[in-house]
Amino acid sequence: MGPAYDLTSRNVTKLPDLHAKLRAALESDVARMSPVSGGDINAAWDVHLQDGRRVFVKTNEHSPPRMFEAESEGLEFLRAGLDKQCSLIVPEVIFVGPDLLVLEFLQKVARADYAEELGVGLAKMHAASADEFGASRPNFIGTLGQRNEPRERWADFFREMRLEAQLSLPGATRLIPPGCKRRFEILYQKFDELLGPDEPPARLHGDLWGGNAFFTASGPAIFDPAAYGGHREVDLAMMRLFGGFSDRTFAAYNEAYPLAPGAELRLEVYKLYPLLVHVNLFGGGYVGSVEDILRKVT
């Protein structure tokens, strides 16, 4: 759970400084700590404290303003949608600072038998409605800022805050060809018929690829959110786009919270957002996938 530690990276806090920060934040000295791999944005640590606690720590001395605070807010937003009967786990936030985030430690285990519980847990979390389409403040998806200004209609939010916001960034402006941009305009004209029927805003993880979920001894866990209130199929679309989830998870989800007719086409539309994010973060290798989906849905 969490990004990789890289001694050559600018994001690494010197160990004596990190020990001091943790002592001040957690009121306990560090007994031992080891780096955790998994990503390339922050340094991450498995930390054992002298008082017996074990915590997961992210650090980044050069993080964008509010990055860890936004992650903390997203985790609390998702946790608020879980009831006592839900086996889905969202890690508890222990401390958050400008360059430091401390979470409860979750131990990954090989438990494929939790695939159905993941589907049911996500369904319950989505069914615990959010207040609006959007969020009170912006947050991040990867290292990109994510706009969340609320809109009354989901179609307007998805168009303005997700697709148009990504298309306006330098990478997409440079790499998305004019014909592809015209297809987006055609797509927008079809939103009212394509994105229905109306549903209340769900509590979305927002960045639910396979690296942001695993199984623990107590149940399935999700983390590293880009959370907001939106259509629940957005999470399912990202899960399908990048793989890593069992067919049993999707079947259990649909049994617990059935999708409305036309979901397969809508899932294609919702894949456009993470693909545009990847265009802006990683370059033109994802443009072809954007074009393929636009041909399907327009």
Q: Which active-site residues does the annotation give?
A: 207
Is the distance from CB of 63 to CB of 42 less than 8 angstroms?
Answer: yes
Alpha-carbon radius of gyration of the chain:
20
Residues 41, 8: Cα–Cα separation, whole Å: 13
- CA-to-CA separations, 130 to 82, 151, 200, in angstroms, rounded: 12, 13, 8
Dihedral class, residue 178 (left if φ above 0, else alpha if ψ from -120 to 50, else beta)? alpha
- Exposed e or buried b per residue across 150-176, where buried means at least 16 C-beta atoms within 10 angstroms of its C-beta: bbeebbebbbebbbebbbebebbeebb
Of 184, 238, 187, the C-alpha closest to 213 is 238
Q: What gap in Å lies between CA 114 and CA 152, rounded to an integer?
A: 36
- Count the Cβ atoms, other than its own, within 10 Å of residue 76: 15
